[in-house]
């Protein structure tokens, strides 16, 4: 008889960090989509926005269900909204932009055959990494990204996600 592997009672650390990234970035995107929805006049584009909003909402809700399984995560149900919510969203969006840029430059560099283009991309990659570090440092100083406190990090994500999910559009 084959032994069935018992599923762990909690997520692995790396899984927790990956869902943190997904929830945080999708919540910021969700807030931005909902903020701009009323400004969209083209029916087909408005429909795409609505589909994107519904899809991101489902994604965030499904991922939040895993937060209580995070290592050392307490089930915090507070609805307190961050004192500087807009500020936090703006800087989080800025961090996401540069994080995506790092990934995009890395891919572009791996595909580049022209030496002069490779040099420009390397220079731009390095300045993107430097800017990401500046943004991250700013967020840490402002207590907007508690990277070394998993419990606080996930609590912040939960608050941001609840705000994004409850926002009307």
1: confidence class by pLDDT, cuts 50, 70, 90: low
Mean pLDDT highest for which of 1-10, 69-78, 99-108?
Answer: 99-108
pLDDT greater than 90 at residue 50? yes
**How far is residue 77's CA from residue 153's CA, in Å, rounded to a whole number?**
14
Burial of 109 (0-12, 13-18, 19+ CB in 10 A): middle
Where do the H-state alpha helices sit in 83-145? 85-111, 115-141
**Mean pLDDT of the residues in the chain:** 87
CB atoms within 10 A of CB 42: 9
DSSP-derived 3-state class of residue 36: helix
The phi-psi region of residue 86 (left if phi > 0; otherwise alpha if psi is between -120 and 50; otherwise beta) is alpha
pLDDT at position 92 is: 86
- Cα–Cα distances in Å, from 153 out to 1, 47, 106, 115, 144? 43, 33, 27, 42, 9
Q: Which residues contact 65 (CB under 8 A, 6 or more apart)?
A: none
**Whole-number percent of the chain with pLDDT over 70:** 88
77: confidence class by pLDDT, cuts 50, 70, 90: very low
89: confidence class by pLDDT, cuts 50, 70, 90: confident
Q: Read off the pLDDT of residues 123-138 as tens digits, 9 standing for 90 and up.
A: 999 999 999 999 999 9
**How far is residue 62's CA from residue 22's CA, in Å, rounded to a whole number?**
11
8 A C-beta contact, residue 49 and residue 40: yes
pLDDT at position 72 is: 66
| Domain range summary for the chain, segments of one domain joined by + | 9-83+149-169, 85-143
Residues 146-166, mean pLDDT to the nearest whole number: 90
8 A C-beta contact, residue 37 and residue 95: no
8 A C-beta contact, residue 157 and residue 78: no
């Amino acid at each position: 008889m084959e032994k069935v592997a018992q599923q762990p009672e909690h997520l692995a650390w790396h899984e927790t960090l990956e869902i943190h990234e997904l929830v945080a970035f999708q919540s910021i995107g969700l807030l931005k989509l909902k903020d701009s929805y009323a400004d969209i006049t083209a029916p087909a584009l408005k429909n795409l926005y609505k589909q994107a909003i519904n899809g991101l909402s489902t994604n965030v809700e499904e991922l939040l269900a895993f937060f209580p399984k995070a290592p050392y995560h307490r089930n915090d149900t507070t609805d307190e909204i961050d004192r500087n919510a807009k500020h936090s969203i703006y800087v989080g969006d800025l961090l996401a932009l540069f994080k995506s840029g790092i990934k995009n430059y890395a891919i572009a560099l791996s595909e580049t055959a022209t030496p002069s283009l490779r040099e420009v991309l390397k220079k731009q990659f390095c300045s993107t990494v430097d800017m990401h570090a500046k943004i991250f440092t700013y967020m840490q100083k402002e207590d907007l990204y508690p990277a070394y406190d998993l419990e606080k990090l996930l609590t912040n994500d939960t608050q941001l996600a609840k705000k994004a999910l409850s926002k009307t559009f």
